[in-house]
Amino acid sequence: MTDNTATQINVDTFSDGGGHFVRTEIEVRSVTIHGPFADPQAAQKLKADQLALRSKAVEAIAEHLRQATAILPSAS
Q: What is the pLDDT of residue 19?
A: 95
| Residue 8: closest CA among 34, 39, 30, 37 | 30
pLDDT bucket at 76, cuts 50 / 70 / 90: low
Mean pLDDT confidence for 57-72: 94
| Residue 61: closest CA among 33, 36, 26 | 26
pTM of the model: 0.71
Percent helix, strand and coil across the chain, each rounded to 5? Answer: 40, 40, 20
Q: What is the pLDDT of residue 75?
A: 79
Q: Which tens digit of pLDDT belongs to each residue from 5-48?
A: 999 999 999 999 999 999 999 999 999 999 999 999 999 999 99
